[in-house]
Amino acid sequence: MLKEPTAYQHELEMVTLESLVPRDHLVRKIDAAIDLTFIRAKVAHLYCADNGRPAIDPVLLFKLLLLGYLFGIRSERQLIREVQVNVAYRWFLGLRLTDKVPDASTISQNRRRRFADSEIYQEIFDEIVLQAIGRGMVEGKVLYTDSTHLKANANKNKYDLKDVAVKPAAYLEELDAAIDADRQAQGKRPLKPRQDKDDGSGPTKEIKVSRTDPESGYMVRDGKPKGFFYLDHRTVDGKHAIITDTHVTPANVHDSQPYLARLDRQSQRFNLNPYAVGLDAGYFTPMICQGLEDRSIAGVMGYRRPNHKDGYFYKREYIYDAASDTYTCPHHQQIAYKTTNRVGYREYHSDPDLCTSCPGRDRCTQSANRVKVIVRHVWEDAKARVDARRLTPAGKKIYARRKETVERSFADAKQLHGHRYARLRGLKKVMEQCLLAATAQNMKKIALLLAQLLTSFYAKTGPRRLRIGAQINALRSLLALTTKRPAMI
């Protein structure tokens, strides 16, 4: 029998938010596992203590922001509309059904004014990592790092061409010391000290600068889209893929440039002592390989195919002999050491008299002076050891975990947490976005891991279906038993 439904929208019902939120909802797991009350103390100095109107609780403000990243809501206005009608979000924020939700402009104005020059986003991220470390979810033994691009809020066709000064690499002091030591060992005079010029007369290069977001970088990479992007350089721990660091640069900055400094930052801030790192081929540079060896860390990196010109011998066909410090060409001529240049490469020059009559000269060199020059970096031995480690059973096992850790972390970020696009413009604002996204992912990971632990706990100790309050109390008791404080905060 068909009959018209009765409208119940205006009926008065006695309900509680507690009864309306599903027992297995993500916000319940996060609320039971993560303590965010520390935010209030960290931002207290940004509020007036005894004057002005009562402020909205900063914990509520940041919970609002984190909700947007947890559930992939890119717009703050849309986020407020979702909170107005979603009882689970209200429960998480501590709002009643009749409480007014803060306006979207309240979030944006606090972000632009109160928190603009603070380090609160980094401090929140660090505190969540410390909570994960305290619960034994981060080992710090093997760290995986990679980068992904976020499309800048800028038109790729609107740009200006500008000449900018080439910034010296951060490792120049170490490289210069290595060059001087190598030249001294070979009986060569030391090179003149570098003259850093601040008057703009140094080397420059032409780059594309966006008119909309000048701090973004124009990306040109094989297999990647062209345009203005930012790069999120992320490091995750090998145990549960907890994110231990995130750092943003323009997309025209090479992956290897900020790596060592960010690795040191994690070691100091979280007292991590990794014995190995897993990286892709983009990090396979002499600087990174030597830097890891200086820190007693075993690097495992992907294979990078060397550059090769068709019709010429491969560099691997020139055999290096460490005892005599010479190369042997495919036609058995010994190529001796000549000098070490300014950029850190040892040059090996062939004998032009022998090369003139060599039948393989056309496949070796076309230089006018008939000299074949082979270069070998002063840190080439470190690269060779890193490359050899990739082929060991332990190295293969470490590298295979990349796709399950950092690559999976980026995939989740893009698919579920709005990490494909930069929401705002400017390097600092994109950094805030990446820190909040990483914080949300870590909170979700911690909560789900602890929920699994609680399920296992129930399976071993008895009843599985308890009231939600009893579940939370049991979880907190379990956390107290399993909590381990980090050695250094």
Cα 127 to Cα 31, 33, 42, 409, 438, distances in angstroms: 16, 13, 11, 19, 12
State the burial class of residue 310 (Cβ atoms within 10 Å of its Cβ: 0-12, 13-18, 19+). Answer: exposed
Where do we find the tokens 């030391």? 190
Looking at the predicted structure, is the pLDDT value of residue 201 above 60?
A: no
CA distances from 27 to 86, 101, 290, 343, 406 (A): 12, 18, 45, 54, 24
**What local confidence, expressed as pLDDT, does residue 170 receive?**
66
- Average the pLDDT over 194-209 and give the result: 70
Query: CA-CA distance, 188 to 337, in Å (whole number)?
Result: 11
> Cα(488)–Cα(480) distance, rounded to whole angstroms?
19
Question: Cα(340)–Cα(377) distance, rounded to whole angstroms?
Answer: 9
Tens digit of each residue's pLDDT (9 = 90 or more) over 278-323: 999 999 999 999 999 999 999 999 988 888 889 899 999 999 999 9
Task: Say which DSSP state 285 is in.
Answer: S
Instruction: Check residue 81 and give its pLDDT.
Output: 95
Strand partners, 334: 328
pLDDT of the residue at 483: 46
Dump pLDDT digits (tens) for 11-63. Answer: 788 888 888 999 899 999 999 999 999 999 999 988 887 887 888 899 999 99
CB 337 within 8 A of CB 348: yes
- Show the tokens assigned to 356: 């003139």
pLDDT at position 187 over 90: no
465 pLDDT above the threshold of 70: no
State the residue for tokens 């660090």. 126
Percent of the chain scoring above 70 in pLDDT: 91
